[in-house]
Amino acid sequence: MMCNRSHSTQLYLDVPSTCLPIIYSPVYNITFMGLEKLHPFDSGKWGKVIHFLKEEKLISDGSIVEAREATEEDLLVVHTKRYLNRLKWSLVVATITEIPPLLFLPNFLVQRRVLRPLRTQTGGTIMAGKLAVDRGWAINVGGGFHHCSSDKGGGFCAYADITLAIKFLFERVEGISRATIIDLDAHQGNGHERDFLDDRRVFIMDVYNRYIYPGDGYAKRAIKRAIKRKVELDWGTEDDEYLQKVELHLEGALNEVRSDIIVYNAGTDVLDGDPLGGLAISPQGIVRRDEIVFRAARRRGIPILMVTSGGYQKKTARIIADSIINLRCQGLIGGDEDGEVPEECAGGVTLMMSSSDSSPSCVSPGPAPNTI
């Protein structure tokens, strides 16, 4: 049930029940004269994830939800006007995205080719929040800009999509008054930690490499005020230790407070060989990690919203897709409320169901470097 709206938004429209709560738009992908290649982040990975999911017949063009761009009014739910005005300077955007040549480009081009994709991913995360409450789960194939706070961007994060999704739910959806953020990206999620400092409605568990960006001492020192459960990892942490710590602290976090929504920041920069993450988790370890989180949410009946966040190797997109496919095979997403393994996954086969071409369309009508 919806609460009173503070402004009119196009991000909380009803979605046909035939659509999977997987949110994406081709606008997510950043391509601009090769400048995007100056950052180690694969700025086309989101489209590759969708391609792999289509190959496995988990989705079709008409079976997922098309993300809408967050408007300035939407962004002002969290961001200050001053911060949004600063993004009209190409130098500021070049600093946040760590792509120095952007400072030489007219801002209207930077807005169109860089910030619009990030605003659309941000809109996707906000949309996924409501869908998660409605359906029990939702996955935004993009998003997870956990270094951005209300008045400061950084690490390729220009908009605070996690904070926005939670604030939208608190303000607009009846019965949503407590949230838990499970941040398993290799980097500390200092943006949402600063935004929810001293906010007792939000419980944050953050598992990250203690030696890498951002090293936000203020958020770290504000233990129990910002990060309620902090798990700092060493260089080269491997599967066994990592998964043991994730499962132990996840159970502790979800038992410590009963939340109405889980926001899961599922960064894949924990992957062995990632140039920025510094950890040594296998692809199978990442798939298992995501299953642990979704299974814990399902067991407690808590809606879960997943965003994909960081990951700086070409194989990252394949791993994200494999993880989503595994969640489907385990009956943790895709409408199998009884949790049974779908027939098409029996024997380890990962061929997914596809929607009929005649199903209703879910496309919305239109109106090192520091990193995520």
What is the number of alpha carbons within 13 Å of residue 153 lying toward its C-beta? 27
Low-confidence ranges of the chain (pLDDT < 50): 1-4, 336-339, 347-361, 364-368
Whole-number pLDDT of residue 5: 52
CA–CA distance, 27 with 120 (Å, rounded to integer): 7
Instruction: Give 297's DSSP letter.
Output: H
**CA angle 54–60–62, rounded 5-degree value:** 155
CA–CA distance, 368 with 17 (Å, rounded to integer): 44
Convert the pLDDT of each residue in 176-217 to its tens digit: 999 999 999 999 999 999 999 989 999 999 999 999 999 998
Angle formed by the axes of helices 283-300 and 239-256, nearest 10°: 20
Whole-number pLDDT of residue 152: 97
CA–CA distance, 59 with 334 (Å, rounded to integer): 10
Residue 39 a catalytic site member:
no
Whole-number pLDDT of residue 221: 77
Looking at 39, 147, 187, 192, which residue is catalytic?
Answer: 147
Residue 44 neighbours by CB under 8 Å, 6+ apart: 29, 30, 31, 36
- CA 274, chain centre distance (Å): 18
Tokens of 217: 């001492």
Q: What share of the chain is helix, strand, coil (3-state, %, to 5)?
A: 40, 10, 50
Tell how many helices (H) and how many strands (E) occur in the chain.
Answer: 12, 8
CA–CA distance, 286 with 268 (Å, rounded to integer): 7
Whole-number pLDDT of residue 340: 52
CA–CA distance, 16 with 1 (Å, rounded to integer): 17
Beta-bridge partner residues of 157: 154
